Amino acid sequence: MTSVEETVEVAVPVRVAYDQWTQFKSFPRFSATVRRVEQVRPAVTHWVIGRGPVCREFVTEIVEQVPDSHLVWRSLGRRPRHRGEVRFRQAGEGRTAVTVRMWMEPYGPAGLFSAVPGAAGRVLRRELANFRTYIEGFGEACGGWRGTIRGGQVRPAEAEPPRSRVPVWPVG
């Protein structure tokens, strides 16, 4: 299994970075590899990723989600198998360090790419830089869900997350 870890510092408070990250439908707005994300259930998302002719679809389960702290996920199904986490911590006044760790099992043509030393890290670093540009361009999150998930289940006291609206890139 291949692992990768990257951190980016963004010039927004933790709450803003966390709230925007959890708006999964907006990932195609800043990501070069995410084509589409659908929230199937509160703790289940369907992803379509790819570049050029290489495309993969998979479903993930959010195993744990704590507002302004972290989100942990794992893929469901047989292939491609992966798991990961994203953590948010204050990095100064109005700044947040966003750290993503992923573990992937190489599979198929895309798996050959992930087996190339440093390739997955470069892609993740670029995607985090895109997130930084995106969130700093707004300065605030476009929606957010403040609920908690434990063991793949939304805590009973929490409402279901709203279906996210996809923001329009700021002009200027």
- Map out the domains of the chain as residue ranges: 2-151
The two structure tokens encoding residue 87: 């953590």
Query: What spatial distance separates the first Cα and last Cα of the chain, rounded to whole Å?
Result: 43
Least confident of 24-38, 59-73, 106-120, 144-158: 106-120
Mean pLDDT value across residues 46-58: 88
More confident residue, 63 or 161: 63
pTM greater than 0.75: yes
Kind of pairing between the strands at 44-51 and 2-10: unpaired
**Is 101 a residue whose pLDDT tops 50?**
yes
Strand partners, 70: 66, 87
**Is 47 a residue whose pLDDT tops 80?**
yes
More confident residue, 131 or 164: 131
* Other Cβ atoms closer than 10 A to 80: 18
pLDDT for position 159: 54
pLDDT range class, residue 120, cuts 50, 70, 90: confident
**CA 11/CA 28 separation, integer angstroms:** 21
- Find the DSSP H helices in the chain: 14-21, 27-30, 108-115, 119-138
Selecting from 3.30.450.20, 3.30.420.40, 3.30.530.20, 3.30.160.60, what CATH number does the domain 2-151 have?
A: 3.30.530.20
Amino acid symbol at 21: W
**Is 160 a residue whose pLDDT tops 60?**
no
- Tens-place pLDDT, residues 73-98: 999 987 668 899 999 999 999 999 99
pLDDT for position 130: 95
pLDDT for position 170: 47
**CA 47/CA 35 separation, integer angstroms:** 8
Q: Provide DSSP, 53-68.
A: TEEEEEEEEEEEEETT
